[in-house]
């Protein structure tokens, strides 16, 4: 496959580059706002440039990962959120339509309102409660209404980035290494999604040619507290973990109580090969230690 990747310098994009560079089956071109080695500059909000770069590379499929993923920034700047996540996606869709290119769009478990007591399946109805999630959901709707050859793949709480990680796992490692006690939120649940498992899972889905909407997360549901406790166990930290409610750390954007997803469609077709999040967390922490 000839694969064009947007958002290729981001957390998931970095995992994709590693995966695709290790195989000689696919040919890929990478783009992002942030130029790093091997990644070209492309702002997905610029329709002419999107058309130019896609026509030049003539991909079979676009992996559209580029997004504004700062949920609180999206809440404060709605125009920025919609122009990047929704209009940026529409720009890609237009070129895919004109050139019969397949599209892979990464969406989020945050499209749900979080009131369901069990993990959300592909057959539950989205009802986003913050601006980031609304802008991502509108991207889904545009794709579904315009382009039949698409894969919309919803992820949970993404974990990856290794030594450059600045998100939850990196913060926990740092805080637990420096403090006798830390406070961690225990009233929000989600589905940890490790970038290396997710990227491989996407390739399996795309190669199946079964278009449509999928949930793709590691097995098992967790709260932030449970992830922290597991990091503590694996790394043998002595730090005390004090559970607190999310009201303890007020944030600009509301978060739903549950973003937990089930890979229901993959399960029904016997293709749910995602490992449990605890196994992938252990593997991730071992890899962080290796040179």
Ligand X SMILES: NC(=O)c1ccc[n+]([C@@H]2O[C@H](COP(=O)([O-])OP(=O)(O)OC[C@H]3O[C@@H](n4cnc5c(N)ncnc54)[C@H](OP(=O)(O)O)[C@@H]3O)[C@@H](O)[C@H]2O)c1
Binding of ligand X at residue 277 (CB under 6 A)? no
Nearer to ligand X by C-beta: 198 or 237? 198
Residue closest to 231 by CA, chosen among 241, 217, 221: 241
DSSP 8-state secondary structure symbol assigned to residue 212: E
Nearer to ligand X by C-beta: 13 or 119? 13
Q: How far is the CB of 167 from ligand X (least distance, A)?
A: 7
Q: How far apart are CA 139 and CA 119, in angstroms?
A: 22
Residues 221-240 that bind ligand X (CB under 6 A): none
Q: For the stretch 78-98, what's the b/e string if a residue is b when 16 or more beta carbons lie within 10 angstroms of its beta carbon?
A: eebbbbbbbbbbbbbbbbbee
Nearer to ligand X by C-beta: 106 or 225? 106
Give CA separation, 137 vs 41, 60, 109, 178, 195, in Å: 25, 24, 10, 39, 21
Q: How far is the CB of 26 from ligand X (least distance, A)?
A: 19
Q: How far apart are CA 151 and CA 265, in angstroms?
A: 13
Residue closest to 228 by CA, chosen among 286, 285, 288: 285
**Of 3, 7, 138, 194, which one interacts with ligand X (CB under 6 A)?**
7
Q: How far apart are CA 37 and CA 81, in angstroms?
A: 27
Say how many residues touch ligand X, by CB under 6 A.
27
DSSP 8-state secondary structure symbol assigned to residue 50: H
Q: How far is the CB of 9 from ligand X (least distance, A)?
A: 4
Q: How far is the CB of 100 from ligand X (least distance, A)?
A: 23
Site string for ligand X, 73-102 (x = CB under 6 A): -----------x---x--------------
**Of 30, 32, 62, 93, which one interacts with ligand X (CB under 6 A)?**
32
Binding of ligand X at residue 34 (CB under 6 A)? yes
| Phi/psi at 138 (5° precision) | -60, -35
Nearer to ligand X by C-beta: 140 or 186? 140
Give CA separation, 128 vs 89, 138, 213, 253, in Å: 18, 10, 17, 12
Nearer to ligand X by C-beta: 155 or 228? 155
Q: How far is the CB of 233 from ligand X (least distance, A)?
A: 23
Binding of ligand X at residue 215 (CB under 6 A)? no
Binding of ligand X at residue 33 (CB under 6 A)? yes
Site string for ligand X, 43-72 (x = CB under 6 A): xxx-------------------xxxxx---
Q: How far apart are CA 224 and CA 226, in angstroms?
A: 6
Nearer to ligand X by C-beta: 133 or 239? 133
3-state DSSP assignment of residue 278: helix
Binding of ligand X at residue 106 (CB under 6 A)? yes
Give CA separation, 223 vs 64, 70, 174, 187, in Å: 28, 20, 19, 7
Nearer to ligand X by C-beta: 84 or 113? 84
| Phi/psi at 116 (5° precision) | -75, 140
Residues 125-184 that bind ligand X (CB under 6 A): 136, 155, 157-158
Residues that bind ligand X (CB under 6 A): 6-7, 9-13, 32-34, 42-45, 65-69, 84, 88, 106, 108, 136, 155, 157-158
């Amino acid at each position: 496959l000839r694969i064009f990747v947007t958002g290729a310098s981001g957390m998931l994009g970095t995992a994709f580059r590693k995966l695709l560079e290790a195989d000689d089956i696919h040919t890929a071109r990478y783009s992002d706002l942030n130029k790093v080695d091997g990644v070209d500059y492309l702002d997905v909000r610029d329709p002419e440039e999107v058309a130019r770069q896609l026509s030049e590379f003539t991909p079979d499929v676009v992996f559209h990962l580029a997004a504004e993923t700062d949920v609180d920034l999206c809440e404060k700047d709605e125009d920025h959120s919609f122009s990047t996540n929704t209009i940026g996606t529409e720009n890609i869709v237009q070129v895919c339509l004109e050139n019969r290119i397949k599209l892979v769009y990464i969406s989020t478990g945050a499209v749900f309102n979080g009131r369901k007591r069990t993990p959300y399946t592909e057959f539950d109805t989205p009802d986003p409660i913050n601006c980031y999630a609304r802008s991502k959901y509108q991207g889904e709707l545009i794709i579904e209404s315009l382009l039949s050859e698409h894969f919309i793949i919803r992820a949970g709480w993404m974990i990856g980035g290794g030594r450059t990680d600045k998100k939850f796992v990196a913060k926990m490692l740092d805080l637990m290494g420096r403090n006798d006690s830390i406070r961690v939120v225990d009233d929000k649940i989600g589905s940890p999604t490790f970038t290396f498992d997710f990227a491989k899972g996407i390739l399996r889905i795309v190669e199946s040619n079964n278009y449509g909407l999928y949930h793709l997360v590691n097995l098992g549901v967790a709260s932030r507290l449970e992830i922290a406790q597991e990091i503590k166990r694996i790394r043998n930290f002595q730090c005390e973990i004090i559970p607190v409610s999310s009201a303890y750390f007020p944030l600009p954007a509301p978060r739903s109580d549950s973003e937990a997803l089930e890979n229901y469609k993959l399960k029904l077709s016997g293709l749910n090969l995602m490992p449990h999040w605890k196994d992938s967390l252990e593997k991730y922490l071992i890899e962080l230690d290796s040179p």
